[in-house]
């Protein structure tokens, strides 16, 4: 089987990491997998994409053009949006390729136009990393019963406070017009599968829930004291870890700060807090619990060392699919505390591999952190069970087999639809 994985880039974000990890897992399993990306950073002959400063500048201009067009629509909320209006020419190239199946991943930032996605003739599996495929231009959207993606975008259900062009409606209508045949959907979490199944656009598309692949050999527990020494972290006391940066409100950094303010009253001795995700290291922030920022970390070995050094990883996100910070931490034997919302319910098994707190109550998040840290024997049990669950659910052997089954189903369905001509 020949697989072509299509994504915006081969590194640099959660979807890119997930797509590349699947690519690696398939190749190690003997599958002829290749990647096609708009922004290539890795020196890997199996990845096709523009390289060099000129190519990066061209892509930056392409993405900037999309963001500029977004200015014609205004609303009270922020969040990433992709119009995907600019022609790419990729559909023709994909159709000429020898791929048996095409696995789309994150296509935002003008990776492919909506029309080009609909022109792919090959069997297609689309792994959703957010809500964009069934929304307008939004990557994350309101999930309430009146959400526009549930019933369709029209002139009467535009949210209050929005003005200018209704680009979300225009983009949704373009998707409805361009995507005439169902693709096979893969969602890493049951929550996202339920959203897709409740959407006006994709409700009749076949779908399967398959978690993101994680190399559980690369992400595995290390000796804690050695990990702390290597990172220059305190060798005594509890370490609370946060990964996600401060600029994206969805990551819940504000909720973390409020929880840490509650923590000294509930956790006894004050722990250390270490954070990563910003572009550059920063001086520790002061507060109830000082925070030491390590900057952006993209090296798996360094991440595994960091998770191993921590006593608990906190994921205070407001809305997530299946955050890799949570899965990576558990693979390294670090319990996770998060809010009981969306895909985090799949990522963490409550009071087995961590703690799921009531959304979005900082004092409950603090209670979960304190619960994880309070009892040494319980903490050891949480660490062992977190590692065991990661190996059972997210290892390459488990995930690649599930993907191969979906690929085979997509190929068979396409052949049946075309009378065996593909």
pTM over 0.75: yes
Q: What is the pLDDT of residue 267?
A: 60
**Position with higher pLDDT, 186 vs 281:** 186
According to DSSP, residue 399 is labeled H
Q: How many CB atoms lie within 10 A of CB 225?
A: 11
Whether 141 has a pLDDT exceeding 70, the answer reads: yes
Average pLDDT over residues 347-364: 98
Which of residues 410 and 53 earns the better pLDDT score?
410
**According to the model, what pLDDT value does residue 293 have?**
94
CA distance 168 to 226: 50
Query: Where do runs of H (alpha helix) occur along 273-332?
Result: 300-309, 324-331
- Rounded to an integer, the average pLDDT of 294-298 is 91
pLDDT for residue 149 is more than 80: yes
Give residue-wise pLDDT tens across range 308-346: 999 999 999 999 999 999 999 999 999 999 999 999 999
Answer whether 50's CB lies under 8 Å from 39's CB.
yes
Residue 78 pLDDT: 74
pLDDT average, residue stretch 349-361:
98
Q: Helix (H, G, I), strand (E, B), or coil: what is residue 67?
A: helix
Q: What is the pLDDT of residues 357-391, one digit of tens each?
A: 999 999 999 999 999 999 999 999 999 999 999 99
What is d(CA 321, CA 345) in angstroms, rounded to the nearest whole number? 10
Q: How many CB atoms lie within 10 A of CB 88?
A: 18
Q: What are residue 71's phi and psi, to 5 degrees?
A: -70, -15
Name the average pLDDT for the chain. Answer: 94
pLDDT at residue number 422: 58
Go through the domains of the chain in sequence order and give each one's CATH number.
2-213+396-417 (3.40.50), 224-394 (3.40.50.2000)
Average pLDDT over residues 391-402: 98
154, pLDDT greater than 70? yes
- The DSSP line for 352-396 is TTEEEEPTT-HHHHHHHHHHHHH-HHHHHHHHHHHHHHHHHHHSH
pLDDT for 104-113, tens place per residue?
A: 999 999 999 9
Q: Tell me which residue of 314, 307, 296 sits closest to 247, measured CA to CA.
A: 296
C-beta of residue 126 within 8 angstroms of C-beta of residue 179: no
Burial 249-284 (b: 16+ CB within 10 A, else e): eebbbebbbbbbebbeebbeeebbbbbbbeeeeeee
| Those residues with Cβ within 8 angstroms of residue 84's Cβ, 6 or more apart along the chain or in another chain | 66, 107, 108, 110, 111, 112, 113, 114, 117, 171
Nearest CA to 362 among 327, 326, 338? 338
Judged on CB neighbours under 10 Å (0-12, 13-18, 19+), 236 is: exposed
Q: Which residues are 359's β-sheet partners?
A: none
Residues in the chain: 422
Per-residue pLDDT band for 152 (boundaries 50, 70, 90) equals: very high
At 235-279, the pLDDT tens digits run 999 999 999 988 899 999 999 999 999 986 666 678 999 999 987
């Amino acid at each position: 089987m020949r697989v072509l994985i299509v994504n915006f880039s081969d590194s640099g974000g959660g979807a890119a990491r997930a797509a590349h990890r699947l690519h690696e897992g398939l190749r190690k399993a003997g599958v002829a997998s290749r990647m096609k990306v708009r922004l290539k950073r890795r020196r890997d002959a199996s990845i096709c994409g523009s390289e060099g400063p000129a190519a990066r500048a061209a892509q930056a201009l392409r993405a900037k053009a999309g963001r500029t067009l977004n200015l014609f629509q205004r609303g009270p909320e922020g969040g990433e949006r992709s119009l995907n209006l600019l022609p790419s020419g990729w559909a023709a190239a994909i159709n000429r390729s020898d791929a048996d199946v095409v696995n789309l991943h994150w296509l935002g930032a003008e990776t492919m136009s909506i029309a080009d996605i609909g022109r792919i003739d090959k069997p297609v599996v689309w792994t959703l990393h957010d809500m964009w495929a069934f929304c307008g231009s939004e990557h994350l959207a309101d999930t309430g019963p009146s959400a526009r993606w549930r019933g369709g975008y029209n002139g009467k259900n535009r949210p209050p406070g929005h003005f200018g062009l209704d680009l979300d409606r225009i983009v949704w209508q373009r998707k409805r017009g361009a995507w005439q045949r169902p693709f096979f959907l893969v969602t890493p979490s049951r929550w996202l599968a339920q959203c897709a199944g409740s959407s006006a656009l994709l409700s009749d598309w076949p779908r399967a829930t398959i978690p993101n692949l994680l190399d559980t050999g690369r992400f595995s527990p290390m000796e804690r004291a050695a990990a702390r020494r290597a990172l220059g972290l305190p060798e005594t006391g509890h370490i609370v870890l946060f990964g996600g940066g401060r600029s994206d409100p969805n990551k819940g950094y504000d909720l973390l700060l409020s929880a840490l303010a509650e923590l000294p009253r509930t956790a006894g001795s004050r722990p250390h807090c270490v954070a990563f995700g910003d572009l550059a290291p920063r001086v520790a922030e002061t507060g109830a619990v000082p925070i030491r920022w390590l900057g952006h970390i993209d090296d798996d070995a360094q991440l595994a060392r960091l998770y191993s050094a921590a006593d608990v990883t906190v994921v205070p996100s407001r809305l997530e699919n299946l955050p890799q910070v949570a899965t990576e931490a558990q693979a390294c034997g670090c319990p996770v505390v998060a809010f009981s919302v969306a895909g985090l319910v799949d990522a963490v098994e409550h009071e087995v591999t961590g703690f799921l707190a009531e959304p979005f109550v900082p004092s409950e998040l603090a209670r979960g952190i304190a619960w994880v840290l309070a009892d040494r024997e319980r903490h050891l049990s949480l660490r062992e069970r977190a590692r065991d669950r990661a190996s059972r659910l997210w290892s390459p052997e488990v995930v690649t087999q599930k993907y191969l089954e979906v690929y085979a189903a997509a190929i068979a369905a396409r052949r049946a639809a075309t009378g065996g001509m593909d």
